[in-house]
Structure 1
């Protein structure tokens, strides 16, 4: 009987892992096929995992079965993400005034979300993940910082859904409203999108789906400008990872994710400078699919481990309030800072 039970548990565990891989791969391929900025495979995989878990009830309550999945695929994603995005020569090429404004915007994100978390009694891990995802790079920042915090699947799910929901509101409501109301130029709109919007795909969408912008800069140049500003925010992870890890552990902490992130970033920077053609034309087209697929699988596993009841709890509502208020404060800070600079 004991042996039979063990065999059954091993079989269920393997099926659970295969299910996570299937869901993550499916939505990765879906995004590649559709090619839309709105079909973020990380978010879709997470939501699909949560939905499957909710529909099957206790069938997939083998949380330990999914541990090997995100313990393997998140570090793989971190490495290849840093090779592509933590390019120091590119990220530090912004003007000092614009870099200073980015730092201020990220700081306002963190301070606002932290203060609201303390005031509302939010779970600290959710506050930390929501702040990192809002201030830096959305789902990617949450994926990178979650191992450093030993975050539970429910914490990751709540934070990511709150950040993604707020980003949708910012993309389709807040930014178009401000752009039309103040007749923003294409350049200003691109700078604002890169400085404030949480998800990189939404930054691309923002400048590509706003036809009423004034100015004569082509859409392709606006996208390049917005993404270059967004890239400057990736540097915030160099501070966020050790800071949040230390706060979570109540002692100085330099987690392994920081060293993987920095090491891969230095490697990518070196390759881009020594072999620019190879880096741009051969390496980058391979690197991005690897980290997107890895994180999609990890997010599917996290969704399958999450408890749908936690998403409907007061923690979920508080995370939405934190993310939305943080975004509004960041928007106000950006335009105030831009007025001072220019």
Structure 2
């Protein structure tokens, strides 16, 4: 005779652990794919989410439990490690103050334009928050962090990330090269341009490797280092975005615990960098970066597994594309106006 209680327990275990294990394996696969191919275009978080969506399509099944468990657990843990690597206050202090100010204006432009369009287009608020943060700060990483803060649905995350990715691809291969050649930017100015407006950190490095015919006023390595240091300043926006969107979502002022963990990890990482740069670069970062990347990629895979494909192609998806593209166009205009006023 079949023990119905035992059968129910086994089914529950499978329901709980299989999607979590699958999410982890997809996240790990996305990470190693990036390591193997070594392309800045393959953001592990985006790739893992696409893997999840693909399996979702093939199996025609959604596991709601994997979303509620994986992202809400893995993303906050990853925030601590992310802060230790990316919130480096020592490097921030070395960036030109005018460039810092220009970055602030560009980030405010992204937020302002996308918020306004979200209101005008009657977009879902959480999609607006995610699209604005992903565009203004650091692409998939910012969307992953913000999705946890506002407890976004899988569909909101997928729609936002894919729209930001589409705008970034257009900018990387078409808009930025065209404007750079039109205005005669040298490689230093182009490094600042890509770092100031491109959404994904990996795209910034790729952008400098795909435009070899610019006037060189600094070496390629110096241009890449400059671009990445400037792009890193945009991570500071998370210190505002995390409490802002948490408060807007809950309709009361909130300072989530992982905001303090993020800031504390950044201060600790900065201290280690200042006192022992070799330890920081050769030991700490090679450990920290894979940890948060795999954690977040696994969370994004879980989100992909629970995405409703029809909603990606629906009206919210189209609105998100409009918001991402117009936000990006406006940010590029602000940068060009900014550098035309003051030599950087």
Name the TM tier (shorter chain).
over 0.9
User: Are the equivalent residues in 2 in contact too, given 1:246–1:253 (CA < 8 A)?
Assistant: yes
User: Are the equivalent residues in 2 in contact too, given 1:148–1:257 (CA < 8 A)?
Assistant: no
Query: What is the rounded CA distance, in whole Å, between the counterparts of 1:189 and 1:17 in structure 2?
Result: 42
The question of 1:16 aligning with 2:19 is answered yes
Residue correspondence of structure 1 range 119-268 to structure 2 within 5 A: 119-268=120-269
Query: What is the rounded CA distance, in whole Å, between the counterparts of 1:119 and 1:66 in structure 2?
Result: 30
- The answer for the alignment partner of 2:101 in structure 1 is 100
Q: In the TM superposition, what is the alpha-carbon distance from 1:3 to its structure 2 partner?
A: 4.5
1:35 to 10, 35, 38: 38
SS at match of 2:123: coil
User: Are the equivalent residues in 1 in contact too, given 2:40–2:202 (CA < 8 A)?
Assistant: yes
Query: What is the rounded CA distance, in whole Å, between the counterparts of 1:182 and 1:98 in structure 2?
Result: 19
Structure 2 portions without partners, runs of 5+: none
Q: In the TM superposition, what is the alpha-carbon distance from 1:2 to its structure 2 partner?
A: 5.2
User: Are the equivalent residues in 2 in contact too, given 1:92–1:232 (CA < 8 A)?
Assistant: no
User: Are the equivalent residues in 2 in contact too, given 1:163–1:320 (CA < 8 A)?
Assistant: yes
- The answer for the alignment partner of 1:55 in structure 2 is 58
Q: In the TM superposition, what is the alpha-carbon distance from 1:172 to its structure 2 partner?
A: 0.4
Query: What is the rounded CA distance, in whole Å, between the counterparts of 1:67 and 1:92 in structure 2?
Result: 39
Query: What is the rounded CA distance, in whole Å, between the counterparts of 2:170 and 2:41 in structure 1?
Result: 13
User: CA RMSD, aligned part only?
Assistant: 1.3
Compare 27-36 and 8-17 and name the one that shifted more.
8-17
Q: In the TM superposition, what is the alpha-carbon distance from 1:27 to its structure 2 partner?
A: 1.2
- The answer for the alignment partner of 2:300 in structure 1 is 299
Q: In the TM superposition, what is the alpha-carbon distance from 1:150 to its structure 2 partner?
A: 1.1
Query: What is the rounded CA distance, in whole Å, between the counterparts of 1:265 and 1:175 in structure 2?
Result: 31
Q: In the TM superposition, what is the alpha-carbon distance from 1:328 to its structure 2 partner?
A: 0.3
Query: What is the rounded CA distance, in whole Å, between the counterparts of 1:118 and 1:71 in structure 2?
Result: 27
- The answer for the alignment partner of 1:325 in structure 2 is 326
User: Are the equivalent residues in 1 in contact too, given 2:188–2:217 (CA < 8 A)?
Assistant: no
The question of 1:277 aligning with 2:278 is answered yes
SS at match of 2:60: helix
User: Are the equivalent residues in 2 in contact too, given 1:86–1:234 (CA < 8 A)?
Assistant: yes
The question of 1:7 aligning with 2:2 is answered no
Structure 1 portions without partners, runs of 5+: none
Q: For residues 92-127 of structure 1, what are the alpha-carbon distances to aligned partners after superposition, in whole Å with 9 as ceiling and x for unaligned?
A: 321221111000000000000000000000000000
Query: What is the rounded CA distance, in whole Å, between the counterparts of 2:171 and 2:311 in structure 1?
Result: 25
User: Are the equivalent residues in 2 in contact too, given 1:105–1:196 (CA < 8 A)?
Assistant: yes
Query: What is the rounded CA distance, in whole Å, between the counterparts of 1:222 and 1:62 in structure 2?
Result: 45
Q: In the TM superposition, what is the alpha-carbon distance from 1:275 to its structure 2 partner?
A: 2.1
Residues paired across the two proteins, number: 340
SS at match of 1:333: helix
Pair 45,314 (structure 1): closer, same or farther in 2 beyond 3 Å: same
Query: What is the rounded CA distance, in whole Å, between the counterparts of 1:309 and 1:257 in structure 2?
Result: 33
